[in-house]
Amino acid sequence: MWSKLQSIASLLLVHSLVPATGVYAWPSPPPAGKPFLHKIDAENAIIGNDFWNLTVGRQFATKLYYKGVDLVGDAVGHYVSYNGAANNLVLINAEIYKETGDYTDIVFHATEGDFHWVLTPTLLGAYQYFVNKALPDLGEFRTLWRLANDSFTYGKSRERNELLPPLSDILSSTKVQDETWQRADGSFITKYDFASFMPVVQDEPDFWGVYGPLGGSKEPGAEQIGSWYIHPGVDYINGDHLKQELMIHRESATGDTVQLNMIHGTHFQTTSDDHFPIGKTWGPWLWYLNNGDIGDVEKRQKEELKNWPYEWFQDENGYHSRGSVSGRIVNEDGQGANHAAVFLGDNKSTKSTLDQGAAYYYRTYADHAGYFTFKNVREGTYGLRAFPNGARTLSDVSTTFSRDDISAVADKSLDYGTMTWPTQGRQIIWQIGDLDRLATGFAWAGPPHEHARSAHCPANLVYTIGESTEEDWCFVQWDLGTWTIVFDIPRRWKDKGSAILTLALSAYASGVSGNVFANGQKIGNLTSGVLPTSASIYRSATLAGEFSQWEFPIAAGKLAPGTNTIAINVTRSQQWHSWMWDSLILEWV
């Protein structure tokens, strides 16, 4: 009993005395210049160094002190969870996992796995990583901060760097759907506006975070504070080059500033429920504190990338057992697969590359001649996939390149030579939009993520081949009405046979259905239950979601010399639900 009372008294003392440096006054002060773990009991501990410290409870870490200011305040703090907030990890029994002269690795244990904080004597922030022991099959796994809304007033993603909406704005607006509100002036607030494409491509890292006046100071020139996530290695994150995720938002119930770290997410996908092997490791990534200077974060990011894979880190799955994989992809004419998106993932998988997520994944782009290289690939056997990504040589290719049994061997550079990408081999009659799994080039498409932009697209549209331009085609079709493509078949093609209409969708959200017609005769339909559905469009996506592609045969004689039409007629609609276009191609078989 006496020892328990001592622990409680110690905890109260630690929380009540905060010196100007921002480091707690300890009953027994930790050695200066050294990271520390002060274990209060099995469920509570304090970690930190001379510059910051954090109280970690069984689910939530609070009282994040820096320069005498609590950066969490009345907010929830730091936690780790899966399947939304339904399952918060109970992280207890803190201990020092490893300690050297350079760093201290502190681990907190949960039934599902171990969460680590790696501190150095001078680092503002910490490296973090998670090792799986018993996570269930899941789609969403995340770490996050919910921070004081007076200190962190701005958000920075890949697409936005702006003031977060104040809670008062949300409370005075009308809720119209999931975490989305409409102001009196008609504009919208949604937590998905700060979503962005994830920085998952090799050598194209990025960072995201929140920043503002330290302690909520209103004084001109007040000191600033920033909290950032930097991922120099991204092979533990699910999905391909078009992976998007929620990163930052204002918590609508409390006003907390939310900084998300979706290390396995599904916000913009059809499904990505995965079964993870024991020992799978997410991270290490860097949670970084600074004075809010974005230039400083950019510099730090470059340093982290230069040092990755980290020499100091080890795991049981061969973190340092890495090699490189290279090759060249050409089309059937021998042209290089210019700027193809090349993906190294699950071997012999039937999942889309966007939905793969159980293991480790690598993404890069081929150069203008089709050459590609994956660096620092964990030893193993992979499936190689490639899809068009906007270059002219692949803009009309509706096939996906695929090759399995690609090996990566530690300390070796394996070159798989020249590989040929079989294309559909058909003659194009016309095409609207490049095949690149994006709505790029169409009206109203493009960053940043923004709610309700689909409302700008008309119910009825006429597009004339040879006269209309790509910008005349809108990125989303959702309203009751018909979009008609008018085109001429020259007499020299009078003896051509059957044709195929390919409709490539960069995204689809259920609730909209339609029929497809060639010269007034129905040749197919687009509808829920058939199309892979994601929440991307009503979650502010403006370029992509879950890609799908559909081919509709047109029998010989149905297209004739002279004027012809293809029509897509929406028969059932739902606001902010729709399909998002990638490309439409009509070809002779």
User: Residue 507: in which H helix or E strand, if any?
Assistant: strand 499-508
State whether 371 and 222 are in the same domain: no
In a domain, 2, yes or no: no
State the pLDDT at residue 204.
85
pLDDT in tens, 291-324: 999 999 999 999 999 999 999 998 888 999 999 9
CA–CA dist 492, 488 (Å, integer): 12
**Residues with pLDDT less than 50, the chain:** 1-27
Assigned domain for 35 exists? no
Structure tokens at 417: 């030579």
pLDDT computed for residue 29 by the predictor: 54
Number of domains in the chain: 3
> What pLDDT shows up at residue 454?
95
Name the phi and psi angles at 5, rounded to 5: -65, -40
Q: Note down the domain range covering 95.
A: 70-307
Shortest CA distance to 199 belongs to which of 189, 210, 212, 209?
209
Burial bucket for residue 1 (CB in 10 Å: 0-12, 13-18, 19+): exposed
Residue 203: the pLDDT is 82
HEC string of 336-376 equals: ECCCCEEEEECCCCCCCHHHCCCCCCEEEECCCCCEEEEEE
Q: Does residue 317 lie within any of the structural domains?
A: no
Rounded to a whole number of angstroms, the CA Rg of the chain reads: 27
Q: Is 376 inside a domain boundary?
A: yes
Closest CA to 309 of 411, 157, 207, 158: 411
Per-residue confidence (pLDDT) for residue 30, from 0 to 100: 60
32: in domain: no
Task: Provide the CATH number for the domain around residue 236.
Answer: 2.70.98.10
Phi first, then psi, for residue 391 (nearest 5°) are -80, 150
The answer to whether residue 100 sits within a structural domain is yes
Q: Is the CA virtual torsion 544, 143, 63, 289 positive or negative?
A: negative
In this structure, what CATH number is given to the domain that contains residue 547?
Answer: 2.60.120.260
Q: Which of 272, 307, 342 is the last residue of a domain?
A: 307
Domain-ending residue, one of 275, 307, 339: 307
What pTM was computed for the model?
0.93
pLDDT for 9 equals 32
Q: CA 317, 322, 325: angle at the middle one, nearest 5?
A: 130
Q: Interior CA angle at 439 toward 435 and 441, to 5°?
A: 90
**Nearest C-alpha neighbor of 222 from the set 150, 149, 299, 296:** 150
- Kind of pairing, strands 87-88 and 180-182? unpaired
Per-residue model confidence as pLDDT tens digits over 81-98: 998 777 999 999 999 999
Mark whether 188 and 303 lie in a shared domain. yes
